[in-house]
Chain A
């Protein structure tokens, strides 16, 4: 089993992209990845989330674990209801990795609370050999749906699902169809990138889901890329990289205006033409943290006001807890604000220069309730 995620976000008026991209040699995957025997992937993950004009474009990749791993699937919490789920460009994630982690020697061209009612299926689609289902429901409803559909959830799944459902009751479940994978010649370890389009005024990157099923001391590693109209404010705040590979936490590797060549390359990939040609801000965050400490998500304020939401970060919950989503600002206001921010950003862009309870078993102490 393997899984990986990389996330990048960009906030310019209204564009947040989250992506998790693994090194070229590793597979790309996203969400809580579980297998019949309860094991989970331990590989680095990569995802891209881009946010533009109130719409989040979430690009990630799911790795085929082999024809004998039919029970393997992934669950990804989403900040809103997606309008579409399609195949993503073939090399967008890799290009982002290349931008922030260039080869050292040579530059080769290669490379809630819930309701007891059952989960509501909002969207079903296929992307190559992937069967994708977007669900709306509380933790119990989504968990029940998952188990009824062959996902074997680890013991922390009920609490983690509840953690997300109390803030946004939207989940995406992805699973490879082994038969179709064989027909299409999908090789073990091969990734299938998908792009999820989510209208939302306040993007966030799900991080806690990456710790699903992991031992408390296991390292969760992911690359998160953000593309925004203005330098984003995040919660928790990232820390500056000290160059030590063993540094723990949310480490900011890059924060700078996205280069023209990067934007041109990204726009030339399939179904990536929605990206603006310039004016985006690139942030690269290296997640390198023990699972027991990864009890939060990454909130992003793409408005330029520097006030990321504690609710979006999972550090607080909405007061009204009936499974409702965040108390988002009405769309019209968001659109207006985004437009204003875009204008401000366009002006600034040219001047910017490149930046539990009860007894728990050994090792599970310190988990957040």
Chain B
């Protein structure tokens, strides 16, 4: 009896875990990830997310200068790099983060996105190294 109870508990636990990891159900869970900007660098600069997962990014800018947090593939990053949009109002995956300020954006990662980049495209910032990688899988 005692063994059955343990087995049942373990099975239930595994089932619960499987559900939590199931990409199909990932979109129902919103994970919060804190990102800090310091000395024009993202910390962490490498993130792992599950396909279909929705993440709430809380980005704190500790620098005395403005920055951006823009999620996208290489092509989108290039568009922003060449763009002239001085300010990005908060929208999914894109936002300006004022000096010494904190902004929040929520983004859902498509299952087939592969990997994405987050970066800042204020003049000279991306070339300086203001970018990070998001691995989806």
Contact = CB atoms under 8 A, between A and B. Distances in A.
A358 B40 contact: no
Interface stretch (B1-9, B20-28, B129-137): B129-137
Contact of A155 (B44, B45, B65, B133): B65
Given A38-B124, A158-B39, A361 B129 contact: yes
Contacts of A140: 62-64, 100
B71 to A, nearest CB: 16
B interface, by DSSP: helix, strand, loop or mixed? loop
A358 B43 CA distance: 7
A155 B39 CA distance: 8
Contacts of B123: 37-38, 154
A146 B123 CA distance: 17
Interface in B49-69: 62-66
A132 B38 CA distance: 29
Nearest to A116: B100
Contacts of A142: 64
A269 interface: no
B132 A159 contact: no
Contacts, number: 84
A141 B133 CA distance: 31
A159 B66 CA distance: 14
Contact of B127 (A146, A157, A361): A361
Nearest to B40: A155
Nearest to A142: B64
B122 interface: yes
A159 B38 CA distance: 8
Given A140-B100, A159-B39, A361 B64 contact: no
Contact of A359 (B38, B39, B129): B129
A interface, by DSSP: helix, strand, loop or mixed? loop
Interface residues of A, number: 30
Contact of B42 (A38, A139, A358, A362): A358
Given A359-B129, A361-B129, A143 B42 contact: no
Interface string B51-92: 000000000001111100000000000000000000000000
A133 interface: no
A361 B65 contact: no
Contact of B41 (A154, A360, A363): A360
Interface in B113-133: 120, 122-133
Contacts of A364: 127-129
Contact of A154 (B42, B66, B120, B124): B124
Given A162-B39, A361-B126, A144 B100 contact: yes
A159 B40 contact: yes
Nearest to A213: B124
B14 interface: no
Contacts of A360: 41, 128-129
A146 B132 CA distance: 28
B130 A153 contact: no
A266 B128 CA distance: 42
A238 B129 CA distance: 31
Contacts of B120: 155
A147 B41 contact: no
B110 interface: no
Interface string A332-360: 00000000000000000000000011111
A156 interface: yes
B99 interface: yes
Interface in A223-274: none
A364 B45 CA distance: 15
Nearest to A141: B64
B46 interface: yes
A157 B131 CA distance: 17
B133 A359 contact: yes
Contacts of B132: 358-359
18 contacts: A38-B123, A140-B63, A140-B64, A141-B64, A144-B100, A153-B65, A155-B65, A155-B122, A158-B39, A161-B64, A215-B127, A357-B43, A358-B44, A358-B45, A358-B129, A359-B129, A361-B130, A362-B127
Given A143-B63, A360-B41, 11 more contacts: A140-B63, A144-B64, A155-B122, A155-B124, A156-B40, A159-B39, A213-B124, A357-B41, A360-B128, A360-B129, A362-B127
**Which 9 pairs, one residue from A and one from B, show the smallest C-beta to C-beta distance?**
A143-B64, A360-B129, A38-B123, A361-B129, A155-B40, A358-B45, A155-B128, A159-B39, A144-B64
Interface of A: 37-38, 139-144, 146-147, 153-159, 161-162, 213, 215, 356-364
